[in-house]
Chain A
Amino acid sequence: GDSVTQMEGPVTLSEEAFLTINCTYTATGYPSLFWYVQYPGEGLQLLLKATKADDKGSNKGFEATYRKETTSFHLEKGSVQVSDSAVYFCALINTGNQFYFGTGTSLTVIP
C-alpha cells in the first residue's frame, strides 16, 4: 500500500543552521506531496506542496522538490530560526483521494 516515511526525530539545531528533513514515499500513480507543520499548541497547517514531478514547493524560507526518480520530497531551509521549532509532517494524497502522513519529525531550534 501507499506510505510515507520520514526521518525520525527529534532534531535539535542551533539558530541559523541548515535544515534537512528527509521524506520518501511509496505510491502508485502520481500522488501530490505535502509538508504540514504543527507549532506548539496549534493545529496542523499546510507549509508547502507540490503536485507533479520536479515541482518545487516553497513557503517561509522552506523548500521541497518532488523527485519522482528517488520518490522523495525532502524539506530544506537554509537558516532556521527559533520560531521554526515545531513538528513537521510529510504527506501524500493518492489518486484515490486517500491521504497518508508520516510519523512527524520534531524540530527544536536553540538560540
Chain B
Amino acid sequence: GAGVSQSPSNKVTEKGKDVELRCDPISGHTALYWYRQSLGQGLEFLIYFQGNSAPDKSGLPSDRFSAERTGGSVSTLTIQRTQQEDSAVYLCASSLDRGPYEQYFGPGTRLTVT
C-alpha cells in the first residue's frame, strides 16, 4: 500500500517568507509525528497528533511554528517568517496508534532558507 508522502520534496524560500509543508500519512494511522533533522544532527521531535489533536506542542522551536491536522489524515506544518536556522529536512511519520508502535517515515521535505 501507499506509504507516508510529503510535499514538496524540496523548498527554497527567502528569509521572512512563510512556508507550508504537507504530510499524507498511511491511511488508518491515528498518530502522526513531525521531526526536524538539521545537518549533522539527530532528529528533533517537534509535535505529534493523535487524531486531530496535538496534546503537547512544547517541542515546537518557536511561536513561528504551527501545525494542524484535519480529518484525522493530512497534516500541515507552517513556518512563519522563516529564518536561515530553519533550514533542515522536515520529516513526518505515522503509526497505527500512539505509543510504542512502529513509525513509518516519509521521505522528508528539504527546506532551504536563503
Contacts and interface: CB of A to CB of B under 8 A. Distances in A.
Contacts of B59: 98
A43 B9 CA distance: 13
B100 A51 contact: yes
Contacts of A82: none
B65 to A, nearest CB: 16
Q: Which of B35, B59, B100 has the most CB of A within 10 A?
A: B100
B63 interface: no
B98 interface: yes
B100 A103 contact: no
Nearest to B93: A44
Contacts of A96: 56
Contacts of A4: 42
Interface in B20-41: 31, 33, 35, 40-41
B1 interface: no
Interface of A: 4, 32, 34, 36, 43-46, 49, 51, 89, 91, 93, 96-104
Nearest to B42: A103
Contacts of A32: 99-100
A93 B100 contact: yes
B98 A97 contact: yes
A44 B42 contact: no
B97 to A, nearest CB: 10
Nearest to B50: A97
Interface stretch (B11-19, B80-88, B103-111): B103-111
User: Closest 8 CB pairs between A and B?
Assistant: A32-B100, A103-B42, A101-B43, A44-B105, A46-B102, A43-B105, A101-B42, A97-B98
Contact of A89 (B42, B55, B100, B108): B42
Given A32-B100, A51-B100, A93-B100, A101 B45 contact: yes
B45 A97 contact: no
